[in-house]
């Protein structure tokens, strides 16, 4: 199968491509990425030589870029998105452009190229904040709270419309909080790990008791592959690990494993409109596709910390933006 992975230089996208190249090498992979601040080809540098892998620098908002690579593609897996809530609060426009308009461009190009399957990656954040004991299932109403979540919810509606109106074979996933190797250090876990390693303060929003379900990225990628290969057309699949933790629990676990003091924790003003809890019900994918997470939070957080300890150069280069200078020289302003 020839698979076009958009946003494949980002955190989850690069881990997904890594899974395909290492575990399912029968597929041909095209990594399509704009290489914005969070896209890093170093994530896949050790596999870039493989004959079934290629990279194309392009923008999903530019039909000409998509058209240039889509010929002969059997499936599209769309990770490409602006994804940080804080950035969406400062300016929602890039999120509307990439997450909504860009998704529609991909859908149009997929239909014209007769792509057999379109897998769209969404988020549990489309369900908004939930009370303890409540869970987002595939038929729940959507109540997105942040501009980021609103853009992802809007994209879901366009994907649904492409199937209902044009008969495009689409499948959608909603995943809880991912963590693991290659995550850009603006996100909670890598930021806390990086700061703790340098004995810097760890900024915690509000009281730190916001609850999320945490899934190790390799488990999520295995679930996504099952959806790609076996998911029923037109369906949504929630992906969760039933590992709810509040942010303070997660941070204190990191400090304990790194032998750092809790005194590094600094409580700061809460994010505007900060959702208190996300909860996702993964029963459907468990029953229909036979997927279960293999890695517990305790094991996953240890693996994650070990990876950052063993890849300090990657972390330093990513935080400083050094890799972007190389990409600019290599690819110029294309895309």
Segments of the chain with pLDDT less than 70 = 322-335
CA pair distance 237, 268, nearest whole angstrom: 35
Q: What percent of the chain has pLDDT over 70?
A: 96
pLDDT of residue 317: 83
Helices (H), the chain: 11-23, 63-70, 85-90, 93-95, 103-112, 147-166, 188-197, 217-230, 247-257, 283-289, 297-310, 312-320, 322-331
| Cβ contact 292:286 at 8 Å | yes
Domain count, the chain: 1
- Give CA 55 to chain center in angstroms: 19
CATH of the domain at 235: 3.40.50.720
pLDDT of residue 331: 53
| Cβ contact 199:260 at 8 Å | yes
Q: Which residues are catalytic?
A: 124-125, 148
Tokens for 120, please give them: 């769209």
The reported pTM is 0.94
Q: What percent of the chain has pLDDT over 90?
A: 89
Domain that holds residue 10: 2-331
Burial 124-138 (b: 16+ CB within 10 A, else e): bbbbbbbeeeebbeb
pLDDT of residue 329: 56
Q: Each residue of 104-128: pLDDT tens digit?
A: 999 999 999 999 999 999 999 999 9
Q: Beta 211-216 vs 244-246: how paired, if at all?
A: antiparallel
Q: Each residue of 149-204: pLDDT tens digit?
A: 999 999 999 999 999 999 999 999 999 999 999 998 888 999 999 999 999 999 99
pLDDT of residue 185: 85
């Amino acid at each position: 199968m020839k698979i076009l992975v958009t946003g494949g230089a980002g955190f989850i996208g690069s881990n997904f491509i890594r899974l395909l190249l290492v575990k399912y090498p029968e597929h041909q992979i095209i990594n399509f990425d704009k290489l914005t601040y969070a896209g890093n080809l170093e994530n896949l540098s050790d596999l870039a030589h493989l004959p079934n892998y290629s990279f194309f620098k392009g923008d999903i908002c530019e039909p000409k870029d998509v058209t240039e690579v889509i010929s002969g593609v059997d499936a599209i897996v769309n990770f490409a998105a602006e994804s940080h809530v804080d950035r969406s609060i400062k300016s929602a426009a890039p999120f509307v452009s990439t997450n909504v308009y860009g998704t529609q461009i991909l859908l149009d190009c997929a239909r014209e190229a007769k792509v057999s399957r379109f897998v769209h990656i969404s988020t549990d954040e489309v369900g908004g904040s939930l009370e303890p004991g409540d869970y987002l299932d595939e038929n729940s109403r959507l109540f997105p709270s942040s501009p980021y979540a609103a853009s992802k919810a809007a994209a879901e509606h366009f994907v649904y419309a492409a199937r209902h109106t044009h008969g495009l074979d689409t499948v959608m996933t909603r995943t809880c909080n991912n963590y693991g190797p290659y995550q850009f250090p603006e996100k909670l876990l890598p930021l806390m790990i990086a700061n703790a390693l340098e004995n810097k303060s760890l900024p915690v929003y509000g009281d730190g008791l916001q609850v999320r379900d945490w899934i190790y990225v390799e488990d999520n990628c295995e679930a996504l592959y099952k959806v790609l290969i076996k998911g029923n057309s037109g369906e949504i699949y929630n992906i969760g690990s039933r590992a709810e933790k509040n942010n303070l629990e997660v941070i204190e676990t990191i400090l304990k494993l790194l032998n750092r003091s809790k005194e590094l924790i600094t409580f700061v003003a809460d994010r505007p409109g900060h959702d208190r809890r996300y909860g996702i019900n993964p029963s459907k994918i468990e029953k229909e596709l036979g997927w279960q997470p293999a890695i517990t939070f305790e094991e996953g957080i240890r693996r994650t910390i070990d990876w950052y300890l063993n890849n300090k150069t990657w972390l330093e280069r990513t935080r400083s933006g050094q890799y972007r200078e190389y990409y600019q020289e290599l690819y110029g302003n294309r895309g």
